[in-house]
Amino acid sequence: MRVKITDTDALIIVDMQNDFMPGGALPVPEGDRIVPVLNRYIEKFSSNGNPVFFTRDWHPEDHISFKGYGGIWPPHCVQGTKGAEFHPELKIPYDNKFIISKGYSRDFDAYSGFQGTILDNLLKERGVKRIFVGGVATDYCVKNTALGGLNLGYQVFILEDGIKGVNVNPEDSKKALNLLLERGAVLINLEDIEQ
Ligand code: VGL
Ligand code: ZN
């Protein structure tokens, strides 16, 4: 399949933060392996003048999603810590990029980059119609960001070669992708993109 990038397209890179990488507090297996391919997507979109959005988990230290505070996860991506920083090799463009923090209030979690953020406003303001979603985790924040986009009427492409899952249960990522495809999302790979 060939997909030509147009001026109503945006790239959304989900949660490529140290704590989600091997060695981090809530590691996604091989999460770091997708950094080079994501950098190539970023380069393609950015050099074409398209906006690139980076979501990040940005939790207070007593966040509701943490074990001991009512949640299931080890503490991760605490605001201002090294673990919350983006992977050091992720190439964040200087221009036309946006950092979207989510899950920043103690009593609310957000698996979707649209939840409690201005992501939809920023996209609409720019006339974005199609979003291209990659990052981690396939079965949590990628899934929910993509679903959020579909519910808001965006056409959604999932970067098949630019996602990794946690798989608390072994089939979780596969199930997430099947659900997204059922809802109308389309899988693409780097070589499908034409500038
Ligand atoms: C995520 C679990 C907890 C994610 C965030 O980015 O997919 N997963 N918080
Ligand atoms: Zn989280």
pLDDT in tens, 20-64: 999 999 999 999 999 999 999 999 999 999 999 999 999 999 999
> Atom 3 of ligand 1 has which residue's CA nearest to it?
73
Task: Give residue 14 CA to ligand 1 midpoint distance, Å.
Answer: 9
Task: Give residue 91 CA to ligand 2 midpoint distance, Å.
Answer: 22
Residue boundaries of the structural domains of the chain: 3-194
- On whether ipTM exceeds 0.85, the answer is yes
Which of 15, 16, 58, 138 has most ligand 1 atoms within 8 Å of its beta carbon, as the pocket-test mutant? Answer: 15
Amino acid sitting at position 30: E
Give the largest CA-CA distance in the chain. Answer: 48
Q: Which residues of 51-80 are buried (b: 16+ CB within 10 A; e: fewer)?
A: bbbbbbbbbeeebebbeebeeebebbbbee
Q: Can you name the CATH fold of 3-194?
A: Rossmann fold (3.40.50)
HSE of 118, CA atoms in CB hemisphere, 13 A:
6
Distances (CA, A) of 183 to 131, 143, 186, 187: 14, 11, 9, 12
| 0.95 surpassed by pTM | yes
Q: Is the pLDDT of residue 195 over 80?
A: no
Q: Is the pLDDT of residue 101 over 90?
A: yes
